[in-house]
Every structure is written in C-alpha cells, then in structure tokens.
Amino acid sequence: MMEKMDGEIEKTCVEYRDFPAYADREVVMKGMIHRIREMTGFAFVIIRTARDVVQCVYSPDFSDYRMDEKVVEGCAVKITGKIVKDQTREDRYEMQIHDIEVLSSPAEQMPIVINKKQLDNIPLDLNLNMRPVTLRNPKERAVFKIQEGIARGFREFLFSQNFTEIRTPKINAQGAEGGANIFRLDYFGKQVFLAQSPQFYKQMLVPVYERVFEVGPVFRAEHHDTSRHLNEYVSMDFEMGFIDSFYDIMNMETGALKYIMALLKKDYAPELALLNVDLPAIGEIPVVKFMDAKEIITKKYKKKITDYRDFEPEEEQILGKWAKQEYGSDFLFVTHYPSEKRPFYAMDDPADPAYTLSFDLLFRGIEITTGGQRIHDYGEQVAKMRARGMDPADFESYLMAHKYGMPPHGGLGLGLERITMHLLGFKNVRSASMFPRDINRVTP
Amino acid sequence: MMEKMDGEIEKTCVEYRDFPAYADREVVMKGMIHRIREMTGFAFVIIRTARDVVQCVYSPDFSDYRMDEKVVEGCAVKITGKIVKDQTREDRYEMQIHDIEVLSSPAEQMPIVINKKQLDNIPLDLNLNMRPVTLRNPKERAVFKIQEGIARGFREFLFSQNFTEIRTPKINAQGAEGGANIFRLDYFGKQVFLAQSPQFYKQMLVPVYERVFEVGPVFRAEHHDTSRHLNEYVSMDFEMGFIDSFYDIMNMETGALKYIMALLKKDYAPELALLNVDLPAIGEIPVVKFMDAKEIITKKYKKKITDYRDFEPEEEQILGKWAKQEYGSDFLFVTHYPSEKRPFYAMDDPADPAYTLSFDLLFRGIEITTGGQRIHDYGEQVAKMRARGMDPADFESYLMAHKYGMPPHGGLGLGLERITMHLLGFKNVRSASMFPRDINRVTP
C-alpha cells in the first residue's frame, strides 16, 4: 500500500490561547520543559511552547504518570491533561497533568538560567555567545518575534500599495555606496563585493514594476566597534516611480509605520506586554528642513554648530526632544540635506543645488531612515558622476535604466535591527540581532 | 507653515483592471510609453503600467494635445483621457487621449525590441546582459511577478501554520554542507564563509520557536557551468519541531504547494495567462521509497542501475513519468535515501541505518526539494560526526542546541529559482533569476 500526502494538516495539540474553549476537558500539549518547581506534595511543570509559557500542575492525586528523574528541564514532552482555571489567578488557565511522554532529553543541564522572566545579570557578550540557549528565554525570543512583525508589517503595507517584492543579488561587481566599508570576495579569480545596499537594483526595477521593495541582508565592513553598527544587517528598502515630489516617499513611509504599529498591537500583544513596549502613537509626522533644524538647535537650545554638512548624534537628540515637545511626535522628518554629504544618485534641489531632495527620519532622536528622490535623467546623472570624479563607464548596466527612460522616482532604506533596537529601548544594536556580526564576532 | 506627513495615500491614478468602473469618464493614468503605432489619421500609444499594457488612442479629433517629437517610446508620461470600449474587442477597454504630460525622456532609443509580446530571437546571454532593459518586456517581468507569488505563498501558508519568520546571518564561521563549493571571504583578517544554507541556524531555533522558516539568499561556489545551477540563489527553508515522523514535513510541504498554486491562480492570473502556464493540480502526492523506485526503474523501464547511492537525472525523469502515468501526479516524493549520500545531521532509519529518514520531492521528474528528519539527540549527533571523521569541537555552538535539549524535528529547503524554472518550463535556471550569478557572470 502506497503512502500519499494530501497536505491536510491535522491539529493534534491545543495552544494556550485556546485554553478557555477547552476548560474542564482533557487535551494534548507539546513543548519543552522550561522549569520544574517542586512543592510539598505536588510540582509545577512549566512548559514552553512556540509562543507561550504554560503552567502545568503535577500531583499524584490526578496524575497517572509518576514523576521520575527522566523528567527534567530541557526535555521535549507531550503532556496529556485537563484544562482548569488557575487557582490563584482567575483570569488564567493551567493544565492538570494526567500523563507525560518524554520525546527527547538534554545531555546536560542548562549552563545558565534561562527560565526566569529575564536573563538577569548576564553580560551581553555571554548572551550572544550562548545564543542557542539564551534565545530560549521568553523575553529574548519575544524581541525577534516583534522583529518579525516589523518586517511583516512593512511588507504587507507595501503589497497593499501595489509594490512588487524583489530579491536582488548580494554578490555584486560594484558597491552602491563605494568607500572603504565594503567586503571584498574572490569569485573564481575575479574580485567582487558583497552588497552594501540594493540601491542600483531597486532603481533599475522602477521602470519595470513602478514600485518595488526588498527585505534582505546587506553587508558593511565597518571597522569600528560601536553600539550602533553591525557588519551584516537586514535592510528594508523600497523605491517608487511616478512620484510628484519626494514628500510622496515620506508619506508612504509614514503609512508603513502606522501600519506596522497597528499590526504589532493587533498580533504581537503578548510579546509587547512581556517587554513593556511603549508603542509610539503616529498621528502626523512633522517635517523640518535641515538648515531650519540647525537654526532651532542654535537659537532654542543654544548649541554652537560646528558642522553645517550633517548632524552630530547630540544634535539629533535635541531635534528628537524638540519634535516631542512641540508636536508630541516620536518621529521627525528632516529634509534637504546638503548635497556634499549625499550619494551621487541623490537629486539636487533645483531651487538650491547645494541641497538635495532628500530626508532622514529620526525616531526618538536617532536616525532610522535615509531616503530621497533620485536622478532619473541620464545626462544629469552622468554629469553629477563626472563632477564627483567618477567614471560613468564603470556603471554601464546601472545607467542603462536612465539611458532608456525611467520615471521620476525615489525611495528609502530602513534598518530592521535599528528600528527594533529603538522601539524596544535597547542601548546596543546587537541586542536586536539574533546572531550579530561585528568586527570581533562571526559566531554563533 | 510646517509640512506634515499623515500617511494617507491618495489614489490619483486609475489602474487598468478598474477601467470598466470608469467607462465614459475622464481619468488620469501614469506609465511608460511602451510602443507607438502610427496609423492613418490617428495613433495607438501603448502604455506600460506596473502590471498592465494599456492601449490608448491618440487622434486630433478628441486629443487636446498635439503629438510631437517629444512623445517617444521610453518616455514616462501622465495621460488624461476617457475610458471607452475597445472598438475591435468588446471585452476590452482603451483610453482616448485628451492630454499627455511628459514626465521624463530617454536619452536613447531602445537598443533591442522589448515592446513585442516576447523577446524574440534574443540569445539568453544578451537578455541577461541587458536586464535593466529586457525586464521591461511584459513576459520577462511576468516571470518574476510569479516568482514573487511563489515566495509569498510559501510564507503566507507557513504563517498560517504558526511558523516564525527568521533571518539568519549569511557570513558564517562554518559551512553547513562543507565541501569545496563554499565561498571564502576575508573578514578583518579572519577567514569566514558565505552561507550555503541556513541549516544550523534553523535547527538551533527549533527549541526557541518550534517552527521557523526563512526565505533568503544562499551561496554555492559551483565550479561547473550548467543549466541547473546558480552560484547565488534564493532558498526557501523551513524547520519544524515535535514531528511524529518525517512524513509530517512532507505533508507540510504538500500543504504549502497547494496553497501556492491556489494563490497563483487567484492573484497572478494575468501573468499566468501571458506565459501560458499550466499550473499543476495537486490532489495527493504519491510517496515511494528509494530502493523501490530503483526497482521500478529496472523492472518497468528496463534501465540498468549503475549507482545505488543516488539517482541520475535520467532516472528522475523516468520516475516523473511513472508518477504521472500511475497517479496523475506532477509531484513525487522519494524517501529513505542512502545514508552515505546524506549530510551528517540526517537521521538514520532505526529499521535500517544504511538509509535515512529523508526525502526528495520531484516535480515533473526534477528534484526541487531535499529534506528529512534531523538528529536531535546530542550523543547520537556527536557519534555520527565522529564516524564521518568530523571533530565535534568545530561545531560547538551548533551542538549547544542538541546538548541542552531539542525536540524531534526536521525540515527542508526549496530553491525558488528552480521551482520557478520548472513551473514555467524553462530549460535554463538563469531564465528564472532576475540577475543570475554563475561562474562567468556577476553583472548586471
């Protein structure tokens, strides 16, 4: 007799969120033994499932199974038992254990305590070294469940706006940003590079699909060991054609952020509660021009400006406070950055070519997005490259997009770990990466 | 007066699919001029929008705008006009042009003809060299719209089954598969590798989230220039814990494939029609054991077997035909591959350790998936590594997952370009990659 697969997935287990519907009934649950607390005459067996931590009670009074030394923390188990109301907290349910089947056993006890609410007193470095273990802590794993929600929200919103999802190559013949922070790779005797951003590709695809986005890894050979930089991170990028102005891009991002926050609130409430996350309310995001922002910093905050080409981190902090005080907003768009500090594909402001039609988005005083309108005219792009000492011949395939016609367009990039970090109030971006890569770390 | 962004996206254009609702009304449409056909006394101006190719009619009788030399193929335009029924095809609508605004212009005429239905007579190599242009052809871009749908379907189905989406690092200290086909990279003086698969990471995350998936790039330094291999491709991976047997994995994949086909039919009908795609009907997918499959090949098809460790491509073709004839199925699962040819983390069959609890999925006679149950017991995994001459100390962080407890689990990988290729009937996998990477190609 031949086996056949029909793709009908049978649900054989009950999830914690469905417990109320199964009150007083016997059900089956599978999970990892997260913690065992021996009491007098009974025991709490805390089970970690995909998304919950569930209290089960063992007692010879109602358990057929006799607890023995095989039932330890770290076991994978299948538990059969009855759903009852928690005796101490009327709003919660627990399970009275009837039977336990041990599906697998650990070889050793946990080397660090992961079954408290929080990974207390563990230095970040040890946490990162022990990721296969530390991520089992409910608060740790909640970080990356929320991160899933941010990326999912970005994607779902853009799909609703007729964007096409693209996947562009990470092995590139050129760097989009240039400079020293690019990884080099030997590719069958040729030198190639790891993608610093999908910039060229997403622009090339604007005349194809009008609106495109990608969520994927990018690589930056940052030589500095800072709390803000990773050498590999996930970039959420979009690029849209037929814009009337670069404000269209900012408005699209505002819509995406509103959608993301609403999705987190709706589908990630357990994790938000666990991490005490204060989701920002987004009504309207104020917009200020770069030079006006500099003036606010000098006049209102009496800070002396030393660099009129960019902001210092302290200045961004000041602007973040200002946006909160004046507009009650956690977000602030700053526009019209000096041309000098923006890439060669940024469109200069026709009203004043020393500035660009570009923006940064600050979230609680820290930059999380850089974006803007790009040059679409072939002659204009070639001229700007030459003015910067670049050879257009080095960018032949990129410039095909301009040469054969592309609409006015622009886009942005949003670092997934950075937005996660600031949303959760972390001090170090490594806390917002499952397996961070920095100048000293490539494991686990 | 301060600008503010509210994230409300106004729709200023009408899409082709909404034309019937706007019949006899004046609307605005934006797009690229795909083709101009001058007729006697009037002209067809074919507009390429994000997803459609729309016929507009210019005539001095109803157009305020006077056509001039500025209106050429490759322009980005904003057209105002009236929606009317197509005079020759009652089921279609077209637009009578009232006004044209040119938003941008190409610097040169198209170097190859992209505005016919198909890119006729263009060798694949030229097509790939000219990607920023050739992808503008409606059939070419349809390929990757369908590819979007495949990945989206995979993801949506797994979300519905409580999987967590993960993003694992592509810069690795070890290779999961080992062997020669791994890219090496200098990382601040250390030698590191580009990920061949997310295998280790997805296994480590099973005790964290029970079920995880990833859609992301992987890298293989294939030294051969074949029609089936890419050096960078998109891998769709999942891994699931608490399986009763590896048939659970196969059944999950069957469910995912059914969902993908249904989603393509529902949301990607224009592209399927354009490419004449014959979507496979999936009822039940038959399952045959490796050794039984070999017997079928010898007995029914009189082919002499020379290798009992794996299949030759020709043998897979025979099995594909057999599944179609016997079961009317485009898909066939082959199980219990010899242990010798499977990776060190594959679980051997307790009934016969020369074989593994593993499977391949053949689609129309070609392998698109490899998967199976993995070893979860620490001692068993260490022993298998040692038996293969591997040093467990080299895999310390990977083995943490086993050491501290992980449930019975397994998973699979599915190449996005390969499934696209076979679904669309392409001869070369490069046709199913926007910007393929092979031993000779890293541009565009």
Considering CB atoms only, which of A234, A378, A405 is closest to B167?
A234
Considering CB atoms only, which of A76, A165, A400 is closest to B407?
A76
pLDDT for A121 equals 81
Q: Could B131 and A397 be called an inter-chain contact, meaning their C-beta atoms sit closer than 8 Å? A: yes
Nearest-Cα residue of chain A relative to residue B112? A404
A353, exposed or middle or buried, with CB in 10 Å at 0-12, 13-18, 19+? exposed
DSSP string, B107-144: SS--SS--SSSS-TT--HHHHHHTHHHHTTSHHHHHHH
Q: Is A138 helix (H, G, I), strand (E, B) or coil?
A: helix
B416 touches chain A (CB under 8 A): yes
* HSE-CB of A80 using CA atoms within 13 angstroms: 8
CA distance A34 to A8: 31
pLDDT for B117 equals 80
Nearest-Cα residue of chain A relative to residue B129? A397
B125 touches chain A (CB under 8 A): no
A206 touches chain B (CB under 8 A): no
Give residue for tokens 């095909």: A400
CA distance A127 to A121: 10
Considering CB atoms only, which of A76, A166, A241 is closest to B408?
A76
CA distance A103 to B207: 13
Helix axes A290-301, A313-327, angle to 10 degrees: 80
H helices present in A96-221, as ranges: 124-129, 131-134, 138-160, 199-204, 206-209
Q: Chain B closest CA to A370's CA: distance in Å?
A: 16
Q: In a structure prediction context, what are the per-residue pLDDT tens digits for chain A, which is 444 residues long?
A: 468 999 999 888 999 999 999 999 999 999 999 999 999 999 999 999 999 999 999 999 999 888 889 999 999 999 999 999 998 888 899 999 999 999 999 999 999 999 988 887 899 999 999 999 999 999 999 999 999 999 999 999 999 999 999 999 999 998 766 677 999 999 999 999 999 999 999 999 999 999 999 999 999 998 888 999 999 999 999 999 999 999 999 999 999 999 999 999 999 999 999 999 999 999 999 999 999 999 999 998 988 998 999 999 999 999 999 999 999 999 999 999 999 999 999 999 999 999 999 999 999 999 999 999 999 999 999 999 999 999 999 999 999 999 999 999 999 999 999 999 999 999 999 999 999 999 999 999
Order of strands across the sheet with A358-363? A164-165, A211-219, A232-241, A409-415, A366-374, A358-363, A331-335, A285-289, B4-5
Q: Chain A closest CA to B337's CA: distance in Å?
A: 16
DSSP string, A334-359: EE--BGGGS-TTBPEETTEEEEESEE
pLDDT for A68 equals 87
A75 touches chain B (CB under 8 A): yes
Which residues 306-335 of chain B have a CB within 8 Å of chain A?
Answer: 333
CA distance A365 to A328: 13
B118, exposed or middle or buried, with CB in 10 Å at 0-12, 13-18, 19+? middle
Q: Could A232 and B258 be called an inter-chain contact, meaning their C-beta atoms sit closer than 8 Å? A: no
Q: Could A400 and B444 be called an inter-chain contact, meaning their C-beta atoms sit closer than 8 Å? A: yes
pLDDT for B159 equals 98
Which residue ranges in chain B fall short of pLDDT 50?
Answer: 1
> In this complex, how many residue pairs, one in chain A and one in chain B, have their CB atoms less than 8 Å apart?
345
pLDDT for B180 equals 78
B28 touches chain A (CB under 8 A): no
Q: Could B4 and A184 be called an inter-chain contact, meaning their C-beta atoms sit closer than 8 Å? A: no
How do strand B43-48 and strand B26-38 relate by DSSP bridges? antiparallel
Which residues 386-415 of chain B have a CB within 8 Å of chain A?
Answer: 397-398, 400-408
* HSE-CB of A239 using CA atoms within 13 angstroms: 27
> What structural domains does chain B harbor?
16-104 (2.40.50.140), 138-432 (3.30.930.10)
B189 touches chain A (CB under 8 A): no
Q: Chain A closest CA to B276's CA: distance in Å?
A: 21
Candidates B242, B247, B257, B322, partner chain A, best to mutate (most A CBs within 10 A): B242
pLDDT tens digits, B402-434:
999 999 999 999 999 999 999 999 999 999 999
Q: Which two tokens stand for residue A378?
A: 């072939």
Neighbours of A427 (CB within 10 A): 10
Set of chain B residues whose Cβ sits within 8 Å of the Cβ of A444: 204, 397-398, 400
Q: Indicate the helix (H) or strand (E) that contains B4.
A: strand B4-5
pTM over 0.80? The answer is yes
Considering CB atoms only, which of B78, B164, B407 is closest to A32?
B407
Considering CB atoms only, which of B3, B255, B435 is closest to A9?
B255
- Encode burial over B163-180: b for 16+ CB neighbours within 10 A, e otherwise: bbbbbbbbbbbbbbeeee
A187 touches chain B (CB under 8 A): yes
B383 touches chain A (CB under 8 A): no
Q: Could A32 and B105 be called an inter-chain contact, meaning their C-beta atoms sit closer than 8 Å? A: no
Set of chain B residues whose Cβ sits within 8 Å of the Cβ of A119: none
Considering CB atoms only, which of B30, B257, B400 is closest to A242?
B30
B97 touches chain A (CB under 8 A): no
A141 touches chain B (CB under 8 A): yes
Set of chain B residues whose Cβ sits within 8 Å of the Cβ of A256: 7
Q: Could A151 and B172 be called an inter-chain contact, meaning their C-beta atoms sit closer than 8 Å? A: no
Nearest-Cα residue of chain B relative to residue A109? B404
Give residue for tokens 């051969």: B224
Residues 6+ apart with CB under 8 A from A157: A255, A256, A259, A260
Look up the ipTM and state it: 0.97
Distance of CA A288 to the CA centre of its chain: 26
B250 touches chain A (CB under 8 A): yes
Beta-bridge partner residues of B78: B30, B101
Give Rg (Cα) of chain B.
Answer: 27
